[in-house]
Structure 1
Amino acid sequence: MLCLHHFCIIHRMSVYTREGTPDSEMGAACKTETSRKKTPSLEPSGATQLPASTNCLACSDDGSYLGVGHSQGLSVWCASSLICAAEWQQDGLEVTSIQMTRMAEAAYLLGTVDDMGVARVFAYHCEGIHPLSVINIMENINKRSICLTFELSEGGDYGAASISSNGAVWLEVYHFPSEAWLREIEMALSQKQDPKSSGDVDMKWSPVAVVIKIKPPTIPAGTALDGPLEVFKMTDFFTHCLALEVDTSSSRQWEEQSFNRDAGKTRGKNESPRRCTQHFLLPCGQFPGGSKAKSQPAGLPVAVCVWWSGSHNLLQYLLQKAPKNKTDVEPMPDVLWPNAKEILCSAVSRCSRHIALGLDGALVCVWDRQSGSPLSVVLVPATDSVFFRMQFVDYSPEPADVSQTFTEAKVRLLLLCKSGAIHTVTTGRGTQPCTVQLSKRPKDSGDLPTVTASVPFLQSLSLVMQRNGKMFLQDVINRTSVCLLILPTTHRIATPCNPVYALNTRQQTLFIQAGEQDSSCSASSNAESQSQLFIFRFGEPDIIKRYIVSLPDSPRQLNTQSCVTLEETCNLYLQQRALSVDERNKAVTQTWKQLQETAVMVQQRHSRAAAS
């Protein structure tokens, strides 16, 4: 599904700046200082001791449990009572990353990565933790593989791991046998309860199936880019996009190697492998081979989108079982989303209808999977806007009939730049995009934000944590601090540069790890006693209650209208274009008016300059 009109996008953006006088700047500073003094604060409602060397937290999607990763293993806690329900330990193992999702009633799946780069899958059921699978088993020490990232899909049906080995990096997507695992867990529990059993049950769990193995794009055999005329000789434009990207990447790598060789430091070809970022996608829009996509059960991910560092293309692969005896065949993407600039960061909406990409050159592109075309391309008018991370803000349920309310559909994004500046982008098809700078580049390094996260259950609010330990909730529309989160004077965030926290969307709470301000004040204090878990409850203060919104149990419940044929997709796209003609005409008229005003201003400046 690759259309030529994807490459013919006209960018319309006009930027106006207004210089303030010293008096106005002083007045604005005074107002800012006054607003800071009046900002209400929220203190934690409770605290509890954490295990030694706690490295990560995760909350289950239903809000019932917390997964805690620490030295020697992991543990599962009840989120309401903060009582440890189960623990799994292994000497010499330190869990550094953890995820948790509910795969069935009273059964949860956990995905972890330890400090040695080994990914594992666990199940929590009936107050017990069961180790189900080791993702990257190292059978040969000379071919040691390291898991860079590990992600579970909601519901625990799929998993995706980025693997590195001997300088090469690839992405593996797995299908988990959840139903078989549940039966095996029940069997293991019944054997343990059997009075004739010795107590030790050695279960052989069902293996994890590799659905697809994705490597960085390579030039297909017989494809060459010897000159510009070769482009027109290629019958497969899709293949050309991949070959062009690989050719550009190879040229960049060759230039870097030449530079290092001149400096006497020749770098190996695979010393800096390309990294990948992936997102699971729910059913939405048209899928190649519609009958195959229909075979998936309702609510399960049907595809995964992937982009590689240095890439301009977003690639989409259907989650289908690998064909037998063809595991060595490199899969081709089913959909390619081309972009004008290099991709720096990405985000997917809750219903996975929209995919947002932060591009080099301060560009933001939002793709609409339902129509298969760009929803909007926005230029962020700011300096030092090298994007670092982005998120969708607010939860907007999809209407029953998307085509009837098409012109009202808007998306809002939260952008974090490497400079520390924060922006919001509000856009939609046929409407003028709006960009707002929430905060400028901080002058003090302590004010650099280390966490900027949208809070799903608080409309238009984002959670901001700074390097100096300051925490607050910020209104992304009014650009005001709604509430300060204050820890006790005896404690501070344990790792301000990389805070360990978890948001519980069901209980509307924030869990964050904190340590003592000064451990030397007590002779009995040590590293283990300093780590505590503090709880902030957002549903209690009146200042926050007006922002609370209700969420569905799962994004799977969202109504995402699907088209299984190209004809249906084209018809939907034409309907949307017809419904949005008034909004687009208004945008064109407004743009022409702004251009005329700008032309008059420029002409007046030239006239004054000539007269002087």
Structure 2
Amino acid sequence: MEAAFKAEKPRGETLELSSAKKLPQNTNCLACSEDGRYLSLGHSQGLSVWCVSPLISAADWLEDRLEITSIQMTRMAEAAYLLGTIDDMGVARVFAFHCDKIHLLSVVNIMEDINKRSVCLTFELSQGGHYGAATISCNSAIWLEVHHFPSETWLKELQTTVSQAQESNSSGDKDVKWSPLSVPNKIQPPEISAGMSLKGPLKDIFPHYLAVDVDTRRHEWEKHSCNTNAEKPKQANESTRCCTQHFLLPCPLFPGDSKVKSLPDLPVAVCVWWSGSHYLLQYLLQKAQKNKPDVEPTPDVLWPNAKEILCSAVSRCTRYIALGLNNALVCVWDRQSGSQLSVVSTSAAHSAFFRIQFVDYCHVSADELRLLVVCKSGEIHTVTTGRGTQSCTMLLTERPKDSGYLPTITAPVPFLQSMFLVVQRNGKMFIQDVINKAPPCFLIPPKTHLIATPCNPVYALNTKQQTLFIRGNQDSSYRESSKKVSQSQLLIFHFGATDILKRYIVSPPSPQQESLSFVTLEETCNRYLQQRALSVDERNKAITQTWKRLQDTAVTAPQRHSGAEAN
């Protein structure tokens, strides 16, 4: 496969490697800060933070026999950054990078009892470092913990620590006692029990949709148990269920958000869905009650869906939530109106959805939204929808005949208009145009290197610097390779350095521009009434067709009944 890939010449323009730099041993993950100034690396000896310009090491946190497998970075203040990591043992940690030094602030899942060892499956920081969401598994049980970070207190402690270290000429902070994490909001997969009771508007609708999910799983288990000696549904599903969550920013006029007074960039809620479920739940972010830390939070909003949720995505402003459903359905929810913006059926009925993403970096209005849907078969579809517009779908790439051409990465490139990055299993990289289909540019690594682990590439996109960082391993089959070339290198591609992509580069929107998407209540009502007025003919036609079908059914049903009795 590698020989065939090397022999194949890309059809189109190529973007050559800009530069490369030696990586620490077994670099497993990369992450860029939002301001583009720093690149964080997780490896087999701990983690490192590099300055992007120039590309030099700024700080290291090293520990023997500790391998970081996941890392995330966000800016907490002007010169302070938070890092969230997971190691190969499933332990999540929170670090701070401040004044060219990395500080370990907290361990999220401390193992106190060897018999109750908890493993962190996913760990996500909210932008700005105010919250952290960790999916925890322990003894076949799984739940989501949402922590509220004491960011302001940590900043003061960091400044104090730096001042004391300068006065005493000390570089260590082992004796520093950082403020602990707050008691987390513990969200578990919802279940129906005899004593279940809910308050508010969800009292009647919530148990109904829970019953739909439970009955669906029970039906699948009963069908499976006809041929095998399967365990009970609860035991069979709880250990395999997983959780997907997204932090949500304030969205005016939405019922749940009005209860929380917050800054525009401070998350106010988290939306959650569990595998095998038909519904999306929203929980308001609030500190757990000190006198009742074990009280499970109640969802404030429920979005019911006709089919099982397979994947999800949230727009950058978090106003729109896109869900990829079973049976090739795409559903877009508008948080501002609290209703479905659209439900679109695609032509991918023969293959389940694998990933869904928003193509555009910013959505100033709901008039047109573009989505990218990746199927497990390797097909890629685009969905264009919006308020008052005719939704349409387009097959962007067909199902590949060779498994080497299956896409492992389909990442939107925010600084390129309607473009996304594709990396295939065979190591081939290119930029795909959503509108014109044809790839305008191929990314070519050096002859001495191949993309490392193309089934799960280690990469990071720097939006501010318009740069792709991706790990490459030395190609042992290349005869001209020198021993001086590092075994593993950071390959760097600058998109703005070539005339091929300059015409596609766009500037990111300012916060003021993004706030335009939140219109007033009067404008929302006017838009809704206009949409209803424009669609009156369509709705009347649909009603007429429905009544005709009912009349035809009423005529044919007695005839079938009498015929059956005669037989």
The bucket for the TM-score relative to the shorter chain is: 0.7 to 0.9
Separation (CA, whole Å) in 1 of partners of 2:537 and 2:48: 57
> Once the 2 structures are TM-superposed, how far is the Cα of residue 187 of structure 1 from its aligned partner?
1.3
Other-structure match for 1:516:
474
Quickly say closer, same or farther: Cα 1:266–1:368, change in 2 above 3 A.
Answer: closer
Separation (CA, whole Å) in 2 of partners of 1:181 and 1:259: 57
AA partner of residue 525 (structure 2):
L
- Give the total of aligned pairs: 532
Instruction: Specify which of 235, 238, 247 is matched with residue 206 of structure 2.
Output: 238
Other-structure match for 2:357:
391
AA partner of residue 325 (structure 2):
L
CA-to-aligned-CA distance 1:146-175 (integer Å, 9 cap, x gap): 000000011111110000000000001011
2:530 matches 1:579: yes
> Once the 2 structures are TM-superposed, how far is the Cα of residue 186 of structure 1 from its aligned partner?
1.3
Quickly say closer, same or farther: Cα 1:113–1:201, change in 2 above 3 A.
Answer: closer
Report SS of the residue matched to 1:85. Answer: strand
CA-to-aligned-CA distance 1:417-468 (integer Å, 9 cap, x gap): 0000001000012211111111000001111111111111101111111111
Instruction: Specify which of 291, 307, 311 is matched with residue 341 of structure 1.
Output: 307
Q: For the Cα contact (< 8 Å) 1:299–1:557, is it kept in 2?
A: no
Other-structure match for 1:272:
239
> Once the 2 structures are TM-superposed, how far is the Cα of residue 555 of structure 1 from its aligned partner?
9.6
Other-structure match for 1:50:
23
> Once the 2 structures are TM-superposed, how far is the Cα of residue 74 of structure 1 from its aligned partner?
0.3
Q: For the Cα contact (< 8 Å) 1:424–1:436, is it kept in 2?
A: yes
Calculate the aligned-residue CA RMSD, in Å.
2.9
Report SS of the residue matched to 2:439. Answer: strand
Report SS of the residue matched to 1:87. Answer: strand
> Once the 2 structures are TM-superposed, how far is the Cα of residue 541 of structure 1 from its aligned partner?
1.5
2:390 matches 1:435: no
Separation (CA, whole Å) in 2 of partners of 1:431 and 1:583: 11
Other-structure match for 1:249:
217
Instruction: Specify which of 369, 375, 385 is matched with residue 417 of structure 1.
Output: 375
> Once the 2 structures are TM-superposed, how far is the Cα of residue 286 of structure 1 from its aligned partner?
3.6
AA partner of residue 410 (structure 2):
T
AA partner of residue 580 (structure 1):
Q
Instruction: Specify which of 309, 318, 323 is matched with residue 352 of structure 1.
Output: 318
Identify which range, 368-377 or 553-562, moves more after superposition: 553-562
Instruction: Specify which of 163, 181, 188 is matched with residue 161 of structure 2.
Output: 188
Report SS of the residue matched to 1:92. Answer: coil
Report SS of the residue matched to 1:139. Answer: coil
AA partner of residue 481 (structure 1):
P
- Correspondence list, 1:522-601, <5 A: 525=483, 529-552=486-509, 558-561=515-518, 568=521, 573-581=524-532, 584=535
AA partner of residue 34 (structure 2):
D
Q: For the Cα contact (< 8 Å) 1:351–1:556, is it kept in 2?
A: no
Separation (CA, whole Å) in 2 of partners of 1:468 and 1:174: 40
Report SS of the residue matched to 2:64. Answer: strand
Instruction: Specify which of 427, 450, 457 is matched with residue 469 of structure 1.
Output: 427
2:303 matches 1:330: no
Q: For the Cα contact (< 8 Å) 1:285–1:371, is it kept in 2?
A: no
Separation (CA, whole Å) in 1 of partners of 2:169 and 2:39: 35
Separation (CA, whole Å) in 2 of partners of 1:580 and 1:265: 49
> Once the 2 structures are TM-superposed, how far is the Cα of residue 490 of structure 1 from its aligned partner?
1.2
Instruction: Specify which of 149, 152, 159 is matched with residue 179 of structure 1.
Output: 152
2:50 matches 1:77: yes
Separation (CA, whole Å) in 2 of partners of 1:519 and 1:103: 45
Separation (CA, whole Å) in 1 of partners of 2:497 and 2:533: 44
AA partner of residue 530 (structure 1):
Q
Q: Report percent identity of matched pairs.
A: 63
Q: For the Cα contact (< 8 Å) 1:432–1:587, is it kept in 2?
A: no
AA partner of residue 301 (structure 1):
P
Report SS of the residue matched to 2:456. Answer: coil
Quickly say closer, same or farther: Cα 1:52–1:579, change in 2 above 3 A.
Answer: same
AA partner of residue 561 (structure 1):
F
> Once the 2 structures are TM-superposed, how far is the Cα of residue 332 of structure 1 from its aligned partner?
1.6
Q: For the Cα contact (< 8 Å) 2:185–2:296, is it kept in 1?
A: no
* TM-score, normalising length: structure 1: 0.81
Instruction: Specify which of 139, 149, 152 is matched with residue 166 of structure 1.
Output: 139
* TM-score, normalising length: structure 2: 0.87
Structure having greater relative contact order (Cα 8 Å, sep ≥ 6): 1
Q: For the Cα contact (< 8 Å) 1:395–1:456, is it kept in 2?
A: yes
CA-to-aligned-CA distance 1:118-177 (integer Å, 9 cap, x gap): 000000011100000000000001000000000001111111000000000000101111
